[in-house]
Structure 1
Amino acid sequence: MTTDPLDTYLAYGQRSLTPAPIGEAESAFAGARADIHARIAARIEGLRPRLHEFAVDLYHHPELGFEEHRSVQKIAELLAEEGVETEVGVFGLPTAFVAHAGSEVGDGPHFAVIAEYDALPGVGHACGHNVIAGIAIGAFLALRDVVAETGGRVSLIGTPAEEGGGGKELIIRAGGFDDVDAAGMVHPSVGHEVSPIYGSGTTGVRRIRVAYHGRAAHAAGTPYLGLNALDAVVTAYQGIAQLRQHILPIDRIHGVITNGGSAANVVPELTEAHILVRSSEIDTLKILTQRVVDILEAAALATGTRAEIDLDAEPAYLPLANNIALTKHWARHLTDRGRTVPLKPKVVRQGGPSTDMGNVSQYVPAIHPALGLGGDGTIVPHNAGFADISILPDALNALADAATALGSAAADYLVDADLRTAVADEFVARGGRVRWED
């Protein structure tokens, strides 16, 4: 018996609509000694002026994905000041980098701290990646100072083009995470919000570019000789708009017509659109994408044009799967910094953004908590005002707190074998290592 894809879509989606079960908020695992955490906090406090200077510098010199040459140079310079050698241009990406501390490859657990540093077109660091990089640098340098006592290995992996390009997925494909046991980063959020322990992650996203090829003709004299590519792209857009009311509330489809033709008195022979499809499960992402592709092809059939569909020209971003066992340790140490970590989201998710950290979280156990940079909560990421917030005193405090909590959570992981087992068991129970396959 063949299962209807729509039934599969709804079944998977119902799971995503159901709030995560609530367990104990506090971890049962001891983690690293108190003096190790104190040293991590003190190290980051000592780095605070330099990390702030770094975040401000990136704010003033934003660079787009795969073009972050100056940003990477500044990171390498900062690390060199601390006696750390950085390998730049790794994994086949000129603006990817890696730095290591601790044991040799294969000797003990390996935790990767993830850095992002690309900006957005027109609005600069409106997603706070200048702060993300500062958090990662601080956490890595603090861990470097204690890794001889925790054992294991810590790496700082610089991942370009999160805002579009999928640097982390490209690094995965190049084997950059093959020897990593767990990974973590922290993302800025609005106001003073802190992500809950039992969050529901982000959506995955696939990008579709479509071009409709028709036949030009004089729009007044001989329109009957033409095949209207504008009719095709408009029909497709309207079909997608009609689909929106029949998708799960956690899913999103949005897009723009990037080329509507060249002249009003010519039957358009070429039009183009860019569409994003988002869903919170890998299977629903595949099914929903196929529904959109069906609409795009139907629009061509209806207008006698030809659809040229480019699916996943950039790597798909997979839904984020935060490792709860490890997130509890982040929450423990952030609480020690005086910030309240909610147990669960206030409301059931209604869609959300996407990140290629989702790909990492499907490949190794990972965490991607969020911490607000300040402000009144009305200025959100991807708004130019959010970039301005990222260099204010509240943001510097958030940077230091996030770096301390991330470094301490990583130290707990490196020290505590029972915690590592719990992290791994949770990862396996969720499905284990997943690679994107269409």
Structure 2
Amino acid sequence: MKHKLSEEIKKIEQQLWNMSDHLYHNPELGDQEFQSAQLLTNFLKEHQFIIETGIVNRSTAFKAEYKSEKPGPTIAYLAEYDALPGVGHGCGHNLIGTMSVGAGVALSKLVDEIGGSVVVLGTPAEETNGAKVPMSAEGVFDNIDVAMILHPSDQSYVSGDSLAMDAIQYSYTGKSSHAAASPEKGINALDSVIQLFNGINALREHLPTDVRVHGIISEGGQAANVVPDKATAQFYIRAKERTYLNNVVEKINNIANGAALMTGATLEISNYELSYDDMKTNDALSKAFTKNLKQTDSQTIHQAKQSYGSIDMGNVSQVVPAIHPYIGLHQPGIVAHTKEFADRTITTEGHQILINGALTLAKTGYDVLTDQMLLEAINGEFFKVK
């Protein structure tokens, strides 16, 4: 019966290409993907999925479910569809969204016979304030057995890891005064920020190589002859695991408080974006996916590449077995987050990758639905690691 998935994908391939190309030509930024979400949900609705929009209080997030009357696992495919400023779909989210939708629709045609359910989750704003974070925290994945997403890249890679990340803002308040005539009456908030940077740079010597700390001064004064009474720095702080990241953040917060004490300024610490947890790939699920990709696509599949980035799929992987593999665009060396990468998604090769990716996701979902030993291995690994 698994071979029927190819037939189902073939039936909808032109619609998938059209949707992906439409997303490319009409890019929308995170949490503004109104047309994109509507396009995908309309297609899912045509195939008898039950649609719930605006989930986790995000207007462009959605949950689409096709539930058979026979018991069985629930497979979730995650769709991204936010674009980047200036370069549009330079991360290939037009492919990601349509691959997941295509896989969901294809698999839904079989579940009435084999049992189980298929869910497609629309997950806005991956590039900025990822909706997968509140989805993971608010129970969206509670009744889901596995979650999958497939990302385009220059070449194909097995699912790997990612760094946990906190986006932290340090806002200092001092006291303005004339920098030349009465400097003794001022409290320089910018000096606090500078001492914060100096303290972090001193800390780097004592951090492991997987830790990344990088930041900017987003506010530092208006004129050189006025003592700045407001100054703000924003940092991304990353580490291989959430537990160690929390330790690093505590150290940097202590440095920030020390910088305030040095100048007499007051300090407010806040998160200016959502925090991402580290990605924990489920190897059993990943091996099943890789086996299917080898049968579907002729490209070499490389081992997971070392990742120093952070993704909101990491939060998903903490609450449900999950994978985040990559499928190549047949152009080794092409760089993501560029116009060239976006353009590649609407070529003949990009269209074929869309079909291959959707089919591989569908086949892997079928394996989980029909192979009890595979599901037991996936769960055994997940709960052991957890």
- TM-score interval w.r.t. the shorter chain? over 0.9
Q: Confirm or deny that 1:361 pairs with 2:321.
A: no
Deviations 1:396-423 (A, max 9, x none): 2222111111110010001111111000
Letter in structure 1 aligned against 2:11: G
Q: Structure 1: how far apart are the matches of 2:129 and 2:182?
A: 43
How far has the Cα of 1:276 moved from its partner? 0.5
In the other structure, the counterpart of 1:392 is 347
Whichever residue aligns with residue 274 of structure 1, its letter is Q
State the partner residue of 1:301.
261
Alpha-carbon offset, residue 345 of structure 1: 4.2
Alignment of 1:333 with 2:289, yes or no, is no
Q: 1:62 to 1:338 in 2, by over 3 A?
A: closer
Measured at CA, do residues 401 and 99 of structure 1 come closer, stay the same or move farther in structure 2, by a change above 3 Å?
Answer: same
- The secondary structure found in structure 2 opposite 1:307 is strand
Q: 1:340: how far off?
A: 4.6
| AA at the equivalent of 2:156 | V
- Counterpart amino acid of residue 147 in structure 2: A
- Pair 1:173-2:128 in alignment: no
> Are 2:101 and 1:141 aligned?
no
Map of 1:163 onto structure 2: 127
1:257 CA drift (Å): 1.1
Q: Which amino acid is the alignment partner of residue 93 of structure 2?
A: H
Q: Per-residue deviation at 1:63?
A: 1.7
Calculate the aligned-residue CA RMSD, in Å.
1.9
Choose which of 384, 399, 407 in structure 1 pairs with 2:362. 407
1:226–1:317 Cα change, 3 Å: same
Q: Which of 147, 156, 177 lines up with 1:194 in the alignment? A: 156
Q: Residue 59 of structure 1 contacts residue 387 of structure 1 at CA under 8 Å; is this kept in 2?
A: yes
> Partners of 1:103 and 1:371 in 2: how far apart?
30
Gaps of 5+ in 2: none
The answer as to whether partners of 2:24 and 2:88 remain within 8 angstroms in 1 is: yes
| Structure 2 SS opposite 1:205 | strand
Distance 1:149 1:402 in 2: 24
1:79-132 residue CA offsets vs partner (Å, 9 max, x unmatched):
23444442222333221111111326x932111111111122333222211111
Q: Which moved more, 1:136-145 or 1:288-297?
A: 288-297
Counterpart-to-counterpart distance in 2, 1:338 and 1:73: 30
Q: Are the equivalent residues in 2 in contact too, given 1:374–1:389 (CA < 8 A)?
A: no
Aligned length: 386
Equivalent residue for 1:424, pick from 376, 379, 382:
379
User: In the alignment, is the contact (CA less than 8 A) between 2:214 and 2:237 conserved in 1?
Assistant: yes
What is aligned with 1:344? 303
- Paired residue secondary structure (2:327): strand
Q: Indicate the residue corresponding to 1:65 in structure 2.
A: 30
Greater shift, 417-426 or 118-127, is seen at: 118-127
SS in 1 for 2:231: strand
Offset of residue 425 of structure 1: 0.1
Asked if 2 retains the 8 angstrom alpha-carbon contact of 1:150 and 1:414, the reply is: yes
**1:9 — aligned with what?**
none
**Residue in structure 2 matching 1:184, options 141, 148, 168:** 148
| Residue type at the aligned position of 2:213 | I
Paired AA for residue 369 in structure 1:
P
State the 1:249 CA deviation: 1.9
Tell me which of 152, 155, 171 is aligned to 1:211: 171
Counterpart AA for 1:412 = D
Q: In 2 relative to 1, CA 236–367 (structure 1 residues): closer, same or farther, beyond 3 Å? A: same
Q: Distance in 1 between matches of 2:297 and 2:48?
A: 32
> What are structure 1's unaligned runs of at least 5 residues?
1-34, 432-438
Larger deviation, residues 318-327 vs 91-100 = 91-100
Give how far 1:215 is off: 0.8
Distance 1:43 1:116 in 2: 22
**What is the deviation of 1:254?**
1.1
The yes-or-no answer on 1:250 pairing with 2:214 is no
Q: Determine if the alignment matches structure 1 residue 381 to structure 2 residue 341.
A: no
**TM-aligned CA deviation for residue 64 of structure 1:** 1.9
Q: What amino acid is aligned across from residue 149 of structure 1 in structure 2?
A: E
Structure 1 distance, partners of 2:199, 2:337, is: 28
* Aligned partner of 2:11 among 26, 46, 64: 46
Alignment check: 8 A CA contact 2:294 2:301 kept: no
SS in 2 for 1:362: helix
Residue equivalent to 1:228:
188
Q: Does 1:321 align with 2:321?
A: no
What residue number does 1:55 align with?
20
CA offsets 1:198-228 (integer angstroms, 9 cap, x no match) = x541111111011111111111111121111
Letter in 2 for 1:75: L
Matched residues in 1 for 2:270 and 2:204: separation? 21
Q: Is the 8 A contact 1:331 1:341 kept in 2?
A: no
Q: TM-score, normalised by structure 1?
A: 0.83
Aligned-pair CA distance for 1:267: 0.7
Q: Distance in 2 between matches of 1:279 and 1:41?
A: 41
1:315 is displaced (CA, Å) by 2.8
Q: Secondary structure at the match of 2:22?
A: helix
Name the counterpart of 2:326. Answer: 370
Is the CA contact 1:116–1:159 (under 8 Å) kept in the aligned structure 2?
yes
* TM-score (norm: length of structure 2): 0.94
Counterpart of 2:127 in structure 1: which amino acid? E
- 1:94 is the counterpart of 2:59: yes
Structure 2 Cα separation of the partners of residues 277 and 182 of structure 1: 29
Alignment of 1:256-275 (within 5 A): 256-275=216-235
Q: Is the 8 A contact 2:50 2:66 kept in 1?
A: no
- Please state whether the residue corresponding to 1:91 is helix, strand or coil: helix
2:114: which partner in 1? Answer: 150
Q: Residues of 2 paired with 1:341 and 1:78: CA distance?
A: 32
Contact 1:334 1:341 in 2 (8 A): no
